[in-house]
Amino acid sequence: MQQGEILVATVTAPSWGPIFGKIKATVTDIGGMMSHAAIVCREYGLPAVTGTGSASTTIKTGQRLRVDGTKGTVQILDAEEPELVSGPGAHSHTHA
């Protein structure tokens, strides 16, 4: 992970702690309000969208994204028509 990138993963774990100091946002397939990604992002003041179900397989490395932690959506900006990634279990997490 490079400084300022967005972490897109199936799920996160405590061993990933050092990554959160570099990233701008997190998007996960699995998780909710009490998931590791959501808790750590709240601590760092980062937006997170968890529980998308398919972000890690839909989003490709290098694509530009817009993560809206308030609405619980992730927009793929590089698609011919901007694509929205969310799912029935998507949870929004904003920084407070």
Active-site choice (36, 91, 93, 95) = 36
Strands, sheet with 91-93, edge to edge from the N-terminal-most edge strand: 6-9, 25-28, 48-50, 91-93
Is 36 assigned a catalytic role? yes
Q: How far apart (Å, rounded) are the C-alpha atoms in residues 95 and 40?
A: 11
Active site residues: 36
